[in-house]
A = this chain, B = another copy of it.
Amino acid sequence: MLDERIKTLRNTLKEKGLNALLVSNYYNILYLSGFKTLVDNEREAWLLITENAEYLFTDYRYASAVHNISFITPEKRLIKHLQEIVEAKNIKTLGFEAEDLKFNEHQSFRKYLEKTALVPTQGLVMNQRGIKDEEEIRKIETTCKISDQCMTDVIKEITIGNTEKEIAFKIEFWLKKKGYDLAFYPIVAVDENSSIPHYDTRSGNDKMIEKGSLILVDFGAKHNDYLSDMTRMVFAGNPRTEIANQYNYLLESQIKTLKHLKVGSDLKKTDSFCRKEMRSKGLNDYSHSTGHGVGLEIHEYPKMSFLSEDKVEPDQIITVEPGFYLEGKWGMRVEDTARITKNGAVALTKFTKDLLIV
């Protein structure tokens, strides 16, 4: 699988007239080499893909984790290795990831690689990651099943008197106890907090569920490095007609939008389709995108927004998540992670979207 991924990338490099690409992004390195360092926000590894070889630069701490590894040592840094390889392999054009490389890293490369053209590239690996291969799809399917099971179990534990953080905690511990992880810190938003599209449960006011409360639960699992993303609405007792109607209209729009996703069409058209559906049912428009790719990261290509230039393609994994927000009152969102097949979108998160009453 990794060989295939690198082969595809090499074709892209050839098209772009690049002899090599220096990959700095943590998730791109993981995608291409299977290698990851302890944390994703400290520069601990680099991957160089040339026309016929791959070099992984990291430090001695990871020595046992990779084969054919090239070490960065305090005495001989990445840049020295790079200089040697660039010279030995006669690399004239070296691409780098312009959306990831820091300004001062670029300055340093420019200084040490005087004879090489450093070419900014944009989203080469990210774009490739937008279309998942079999192994990735299998992993994401598994993670989606995990989140379904998590929701099934956790919902039985949600009762009046619980606070937002308590519910987020239940989700987190269900996952971690089984050796899984969170894709992101869960958004659990009760009543008026649910009217904030990206309510931060961690720093919020930890509202308690009362009789008649409406609870938005947006969470994802992480397993084998791959993520899922799902939002469900839960009601503490039968919701009143106005709210039940809004929920049903929202759900209808979400389901129709899933059906609207056809290979070859523009994602921005699906985005506007969903908004139009909502408006036609008297629901306010929402101030976020209709969906986003999911994989190693929670926000990947493609994007489904009015700014999107992406098309629907087979084996994209994308969320569909319209929402309806009444500022200061309440909000709702329904979200699935779906796979694009040649016959349309198939939701991988299969937990029921029927009115959930606890």
Say whether A287 faces chain B, with CB atoms less than 8 Å apart. yes
Is B64 within 8 A of A196, CB to CB?
Answer: yes
User: Smallest CB-CB separation from A287: which chain B residue?
Assistant: B60
A12-33, CB < 8 A from B: none
Counted per complex, copies of this chain come to 2
Binds B, one of A168-176, A246-254, A336-344, A347-355: A168-176
Binds B, one of A34-42, A78-86, A310-318: A34-42
User: Smallest CB-CB separation from A97: which chain B residue?
Assistant: B103
User: From residue A108, how far is it (CB to closest CB) to chain B in Å?
Assistant: 10
A120-174, CB < 8 A from B: 120, 122, 165, 169, 172-173
Contacts of A273 in B (CB 8 A): none
- A200 to B165 alpha-carbon distance, docked (Å): 28
- A165 to B102 alpha-carbon distance, docked (Å): 35
Do A100 and B98 contact each other (CB < 8 Å), given the known contacts A41-B40, A176-B169?
Answer: no
Contacts of A99 in B (CB 8 A): 102-104
- A120 to B42 alpha-carbon distance, docked (Å): 20
Say whether A197 faces chain B, with CB atoms less than 8 Å apart. yes
Contacts of A103 in B (CB 8 A): 96, 98-99, 101-103, 106, 120
- A147 to B179 alpha-carbon distance, docked (Å): 23
- A64 to B100 alpha-carbon distance, docked (Å): 30
3 pairs of A and B residues whose beta carbons are closest in the complex: A98-B104, A98-B103, A61-B198
